[in-house]
Chains A and B, each alone.
Chain A
């Protein structure tokens, strides 16, 4: 049986979600492993959201926001960037592989880049294999 990863994606309303929409309306094909959650800004993505995704069985989480300087709220994506690096350090300590969490910038016109990114991230997570977080929590004691 081949491994079919579950990927949770947080997309900002103004750039990345519109970019994903463009990929859709342009009828581009990309891996169906991704579950998109629209948020108003990448700065809205709390570490709790990411942890909850992993604890409920996600194999990878990707956060997409506007390019630096393009944030609809001026600096939400910078706030996300700062959290992302601190979260990565925390995940390393908790024994989660580096590649399971990713932050990228996708603008409203980058439908093609979005589709390519989803395929690439899906391959990356498939290579990493299933995430052990949920199993760990369930087998406590």
Chain B
């Protein structure tokens, strides 16, 4: 029971294939954590609390009110916990870019499991593995059987594995947005329809960005941020630097751009966009100042890595989902 007499919310935070930054962003609520603890019991949070998977398995279905699931689904452990938490949770929130559209771990979809294992366990310069040992999900030793999770061929977003109630994007999500969403749940405010992206705007980054923009965005060459001396006030695209602003949802407070770095697209696409990278590809192509195939090719060649740039946070969530395997 909380002090105001209402039953406390049961809150869980879990990480799949993630870097840990999302969990830290939850801690970034600072002193507001006391408001959280007044209104909620943290029942499961591997980074902060020693609660075992079997404790979660023993909870009745729908026991947890809100779960913030961050990280993508990369292996069988991630998938098991995603399904388990879905069963035990009333409101499952995909928290952060990785659970939203695959995020940075999703870039592994440019390779197959075999390629990743070959690189990690045989080919990398710092690896010495003469016996060619690779991880085995089941391994028998005299004392019994050791088990580790099965590494999947593909990275998937949370929504591709289980039914998700809300998506809260960002790498990591801005803590202020989390607090807003949490307070909305605590106060019982009207929640948006299931499946919505919350804690973000429906307009693009450009709508919030304060840099000077003109209609002329034509360029003869695309540049990397290190190749220009940024004047601090002109639109990055007009300076020839690829900024994901046009195909990215606002809501983060344009922090990267305010810090003089182009947007990388962690907040995902605006509403009703099927494929964020394709939208960006479309926008960037209109900037190419050329009318002949040869000149267009030359300018396109100055974009080093279109797939990795336009789908930096969204490869598993895109239409093709992964590199085609032959």
Contact = CB atoms under 8 A, between A and B. Distances in A.
User: Could you say which interface size class chain A belongs to?
Assistant: 20 to 34
Nearest to A77: B291
Interface string A79-98: 10111011101100111100
Interface string B137-177: 00000000000000011101000100000000000000000
A48 to B, nearest CB: 4
A55 interface: yes
A59 to B, nearest CB: 13
B257 to A, nearest CB: 23
Contacts of A1: none
Contacts of A93: 110, 305-308, 323
B274 A52 contact: yes
Nearest to A131: B324
Contact of A55 (B279, B284, B305, B319): B319
Contacts of A81: 291, 293, 296
Contacts, number: 103
B34 to A, nearest CB: 42
A47 interface: yes
A78 B292 CA distance: 8
B154 A140 contact: yes
B319 A95 contact: no
Contact of B300 (A48, A68, A85, A95): A85
A90 B310 contact: yes
Interface of A: 46-48, 51-52, 54-55, 68, 75, 78-79, 81-83, 85-87, 89-90, 93-96, 132-133, 136-137, 140-141
Interface of B: 110, 152-154, 156, 160, 274-275, 277-279, 281-282, 284-286, 288, 290-291, 293, 296-297, 300, 303, 305-308, 310, 318-326
23 contacts: A47-B278, A52-B319, A78-B291, A79-B285, A81-B293, A81-B296, A83-B286, A85-B297, A86-B281, A86-B284, A86-B285, A86-B303, A86-B306, A89-B300, A90-B306, A133-B320, A136-B325, A137-B320, A137-B321, A140-B153, A140-B160, A141-B153, A141-B154
